[in-house]
C-alpha cells in the first residue's frame, strides 16, 4: 500500500490526477490489460513516462467479484504489475450505473475485505448507499489507513445547484478524504452549472478535495479542463470507456498537459486562470458571439465582443457608424480595440466578420493568441442573417448569391489567418467549444493528428 505522504502530496497538486480505469470480466483479461499498461504502454513510448497516476479497478465488471479469494488474487496481481502506483478499488452498483446488483451486506463485506487486505490505497464508497453502510465502510477504511472517495452519480441528468450543494455537504459530513460527483449533462447549461459550482464550492461550505465531472458527449470537455475548476482527478479509459464521455488515457495525458500550459497561477493560492487569448473569426452569422459567450463561462476567461464593445464606446450602432463615418472609420476602431488585447490576458474575442481583411489585425491576433475560424455553411449564414438589419455590409446584399460571393471573397483571408478551423455544421455550441479547446490544447504540445 502507498504511504499517506504520497496521497497527501497528490491532493495538494493543482494538475488533476489521471485515474486509469480497468474493467474486464475475467482475471485473464484484467491481467492482460494491466500488463499492457503497466509494462509497455503507448504513453511510455511517446513521453518516456507513465501517462496516468492512479489505477482504478472497476470490480463490478469482474464475474467472480463476490468470491473474495478471486478478488484478492486480482488485487494482488494489480499491485505487482503496477508497483509504485496507487490502486483504487471501485464496485459501482447498478443503481449508480454499475454492472451488478449488490445487497447492503454484500456491498459492505466486499469493501471491508478489500480494506483489510492491504492491497488498495483508495476505495470508492457510494455516499447514498442504503442505510448507514457508507459510514461503516468509511470507518473501516480509515482504521486500515485506506483513503476514501465518497461518490454520487446520476446517469440521467445534472441536479439543480441547490440539490448538488445539499448532497456535497452531506457527503463531506461522512468524513471521506475526497468527494466525487459525476452527472450526465443533457445541455451545455448543465455542464456550466457543475463547473460554476465547483469553482465556488468553498463559498458553499465544501472544503474537501473534489472530483467533478459532467458525463456524456455534452460534458466530455469537463474531463479536459478540471484544473481550472479545482478537480482533484479525472478518469480515463484503458480501452473501452467505463463511463459516458470518458477519454483514452494517452489522449487524456496530452490534453491535460496542453491545458496546464494554457494557464497561469491563481492569485493568493486560488485557482489557476486561463491565459491564452482566443480570437474567433468567421463570416457574419457564424455564431462567434454565442460561442465566445460559452467559452467565457467554460474557461472562466475574459470576454470581448468587438462589435458590441465598439457600439458601447461610440454610443451608436454599427449601422449608424457605417452610415455617418464610413467603413474605414469602423475598421480603424476595430484595429484600435484589437491592440488593447495583450498577450496573456486570457480573453475570448468575438471578432467582427471583416477584422481579418487588415493584415495588421491578423498580425496582432497571431502574436497575442490563437485564431479560431468558425467555418459555417452558406445556407446557415443566409438563414441567420436575412432578417438582421444590424449588418450594414449586407444591407443591399440579401440574396443567397450575394452572400455566397462575399463569403467566397473572404474565405482565403480566414484560411490564412486561422490557427484552428472548426466546421460548425450540425454541431451544438458545446460541441464546437470542445473542438476548439481540444485543438488548441493539442497544438500547444506540438501534437497534430495524422
What is the average pLDDT across 423-428?
94
Residue 300 has a pLDDT of: 94
Q: What residue ranges of the chain are covered by domains with CATH 3.40.50.300?
A: 275-444
Q: Considering the chain, what is the average pLDDT of its residues? A: 90
The pLDDT of residue 360 is above 50 = yes
Q: What residue ranges of the chain are covered by domains with CATH 3.20.20.70?
A: 4-267
3-state SS track over the chain: CCCHHHHHHHHCCCCCEEEEEECCCCHHHHHHHHHHHHCCCHHHHHHCCCCCCEEEEEHHHCCCCCCHHHHHHHHHHHHHHCCCCCEEEECCEHHHCCCECCCHHHHHHHHHHHHHHCCCCEEEEECCCCCCHHHHHHHHHHHCCCEEEEEEEECCCCCCHHHHHHHHHHHHHCCCCEEEEEEECCCHHHHHHHHHHHHCHHHHCCCCCEEEEEECCCCHHHHCCHHHHCECEEEEECCCCCCCCCEEHHHHHHHHHHHHHCEECCHHHCCCEECCEEEEECCCCCCHHHHHHHHHHHHCCEEEEHHHHHHHHHCCCHHHHHHHHCHHHHHHHHHHHHHHCCCCCCEEEECCCCHHHCHHHHHHHHHHEEEEEEECCHHHHHHHHCCCCCCHHHCCCCCHHHHHHHHHHHHHHHHHHCCEEEECCCCCHHHHHHHHHHHHHHHHCCCCCC
Residue 42 has a pLDDT of: 59
53 neighbors 85 (Cβ within 8 angstroms):
yes
Superfamily of domain 4-267: Aldolase class I (3.20.20.70)
Residue 392 has a pLDDT of: 52
What is the average pLDDT across 287-313?
95
What is the average pLDDT across 95-120?
96
The pLDDT of residue 324 is above 90 = no
Q: Can you give the pTM of this predicted structure?
A: 0.89
Residue 241 has a pLDDT of: 83
Residue 390 has a pLDDT of: 56
The pLDDT of residue 387 is above 90 = no
Residue 385 has a pLDDT of: 74
More confident site: 350 or 267: 350
**Tens-digit pLDDT profile for residues 207-261:** 899 999 999 999 999 999 999 999 999 999 998 888 888 999 999 999 999 999 9
Catalytic residue, from 147, 152, 180, 288: name it.
180
The pLDDT of residue 46 is above 70 = no
Residue 448 has a pLDDT of: 63
275-444 maps to which CATH number? Answer: 3.40.50.300
- Integer Cα distance of 189 and 96 in angstroms: 23
The pLDDT of residue 187 is above 60 = yes
Residue 396 has a pLDDT of: 58
The pLDDT of residue 376 is above 90 = yes
The pLDDT of residue 117 is above 50 = yes
Percent above pLDDT 70 for the chain: 91
The pLDDT of residue 30 is above 90 = yes
Residue 112 has a pLDDT of: 98
Residue 327 has a pLDDT of: 83
Residue 383 has a pLDDT of: 83
30 neighbors 21 (Cβ within 8 angstroms):
no
Which of 94-98, 106-110, 319-323, 366-370 is least confident?
319-323
Which of 41-45, 80-84, 92-96, 150-154 is least confident?
41-45
More confident site: 336 or 387: 336
The pLDDT of residue 41 is above 80 = no
180 tagged catalytic = yes
Confidence class for position 6, pLDDT limits 50, 70, 90: very low
The pLDDT of residue 8 is above 60 = no
The pLDDT of residue 329 is above 60 = yes
Catalytic residue, from 41, 61, 153, 296: name it.
153
Confidence class for position 51, pLDDT limits 50, 70, 90: confident
**Tens-digit pLDDT profile for residues 256-290:** 999 999 999 988 778 999 999 999 999 988 999 99
Amino acid at each position: 500500500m502507498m504511504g499517506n505522504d504520497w496521497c497527501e502530496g497528490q491532493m495538494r497538486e493543482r494538475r488533476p490526477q489521471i485515474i486509469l480505469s480497468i474493467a474486464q470480466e475475467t482475471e485473464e483479461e484484467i491481467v492482460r490489460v494491466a500488463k499492457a499498461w503497466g509494462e509497455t504502454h503507448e504513453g511510455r513510448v511517446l513521453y518516456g513516462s507513465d501517462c496516468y497516476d492512479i489505477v482504478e479497478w472497476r470490480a463490478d465488471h469482474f464475474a467472480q467479484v463476490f468470491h473474495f479469494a478471486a478478488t484478492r488474487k486480482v488485487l494482488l496481481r494489480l499491485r505487482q504489475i503496477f508497483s509504485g502506483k496507487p490502486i483504487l478499488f471501485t464496485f459501482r452498483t447498478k443503481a449508480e450505473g454499475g454492472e451488478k446488483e449488490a445487497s447492503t451486506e454484500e456491498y459492505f463485506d466486499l469493501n471491508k475485505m478489500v480494506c483489510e487486505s492491504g492491497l488498495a490505497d483508495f476505495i470508492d464508497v457510494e455516499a447514498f448507499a442504503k442505510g448507514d453502510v457508507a459510514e461503516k465502510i468509511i470507518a473501516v477504511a480509515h482504521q486500515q489507513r485506506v483513503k476514501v472517495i465518497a461518490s454520487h452519480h446520476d446517469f440521467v441528468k445534472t441536479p439543480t445547484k441547490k440539490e448538488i450543494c445539499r448532497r456535497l455537504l452531506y457527503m463531506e459530513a461522512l468524513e471521506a478524504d475526497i468527494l466525487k460527483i459525476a452527472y450526465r449533462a443533457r445541455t451545455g447549461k448543465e455542464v456550466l452549472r457543475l463547473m460554476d459550482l465547483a469553482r465556488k464550492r468553498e463559498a458553499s461550505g465544501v472544503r474537501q478535495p473534489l472530483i467533478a465531472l459532467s458525463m456524456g458527449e455534452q460534458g466530455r470537455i469537463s474531463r479536459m479542463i478540471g484544473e481550472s475548476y479545482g478537480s482533484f482527478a479525472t478518469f480515463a479509459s484503458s480501452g473501452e470507456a467505463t463511463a459516458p464521455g470518458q477519454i483514452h488515457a494517452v489522449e487524456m495525458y496530452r490534453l491535460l498537459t496542453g491545458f496546464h500550459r494554457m494557464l497561469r497561477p491563481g492569485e493568493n493560492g486560488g485557482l489557476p486562470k486561463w491565459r491564452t487569448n482566443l480570437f474567433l473569426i468567421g463570416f457574419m452569422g457564424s455564431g462567434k458571439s454565442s460561442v465566445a459567450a460559452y467559452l467565457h463561462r467554460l474557461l472562466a476567461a475574459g470576454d470581448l465582443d468587438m462589435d458590441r464593445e465598439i457600439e458601447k464606446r461610440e454610443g451608436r450602432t454599427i449601422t449608424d457608424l457605417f452610415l455617418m463615418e464610413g467603413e474605414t472609420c469602423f475598421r480603424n476602431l476595430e484595429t484600435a480595440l484589437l491592440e488593447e488585447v495583450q498577450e496573456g490576458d486570457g480573453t475570448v474575442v468575438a471578432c467582427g466578420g471583416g477584422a481579418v481583411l487588415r493584415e495588421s489585425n491578423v498580425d496582432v491576433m497571431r502574436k497575442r493568441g490563437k485564431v479560431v475560424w468558425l467555418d459555417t455553411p452558406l445556407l446557415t449564414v443566409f438563414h441567420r442573417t436575412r432578417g438582421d438589419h444590424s449588418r450594414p455590409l449586407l444591407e443591399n446584399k440579401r440574396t443567397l448569391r450575394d452572400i455566397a460571393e462575399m463569403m467566397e471573397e473572404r474565405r482565403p483571408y480566414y484560411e490564412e489567418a486561422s490557427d484552428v478551423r472548426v466546421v460548425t455544421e450540425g454541431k451544438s455550441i458545446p460541441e464546437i467549444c470542445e473542438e476548439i479547446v481540444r485543438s488548441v490544447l493539442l497544438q500547444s504540445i506540438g501534437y497534430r493528428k495524422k
